Amino acid sequence: MNFYEHTLIAKQDISTSDLEKIEKKYKNIITETEGKLIKVEKWGLLNFARKIKAYNKGFYIHYKFEAENKTLNEIKKNSVIDNSLLRHLTVRYKKLDTETEYFKEKDSNEKKK
C-alpha cells in the first residue's frame, strides 16, 4: 500500500449536481477497490495559466488516499474516458501531509464566521 494524491480538473460549464456526481464517482472507485480514502479537497473554480482545450477556468477536486495498483488502473481507465474532465494527475508520496492546504477558498471561510 502506498500513499497517493489525485487531482481532477472538470469543465467549467458543468452543473453543480454533475460536479457532485463526479466527486462521488471517484470516491466510490477508491473505496470499492479496497483503498483507504484519507481526505478530499475541493479547490473550487480556478483560472488556468493558459487555455486548455479552449477553456479558461476549471473545477479542481483533490483526493488523498492509500491504495494499491488496482485502484490506480481503475481511476486512470475512468478518467481517460470521462468527457467532463479536462486533465488528471496522480502523484505517489512516501508521507502525506494533510494539514497544509494551498488552495483554501477565502469566501466560504468568511461567511462561516
Partner 1 sequence: MKRKNNKKFNKRPQNPLNKLSLFQKSDSRFSKKCPLSGKDAPIIDYKNTKLLRRYISDTDKIMPSRITSVSQNKQRKLTSEIKKAKILGLI
9 in contact with partner 1 (CB under 8 A): yes
Question: Can you tell me whether residue 82 is helix, strand or coil?
Answer: coil
CA distances from 93 to 2, 61, 64, 102 (A): 7, 18, 10, 17
Site for partner 1 contains 48 (CB under 8 A) = yes
Cβ proximity to partner 1, 7 vs 31, nearer residue: 7
CB of 89 to partner 1, least distance (A): 6
Nine cell digits for residue 37? 480514502
Which one of residues 6, 22, 29, 58 is an interface residue with partner 1 (CB under 8 A)?
A: 58
Tell me: does residue 65 bind partner 1 (CB under 8 A): no
Instruction: Using DSSP bridges, classify how beta strands 55-67 and 85-93 pair: parallel, antiparallel or unpaired.
Output: unpaired
Helix (H, G, I), strand (E, B) or coil at 24: helix
Which one of the spans 19-27, 30-38, 75-83, 96-104 is the region binding partner 1 (CB under 8 A)? 96-104
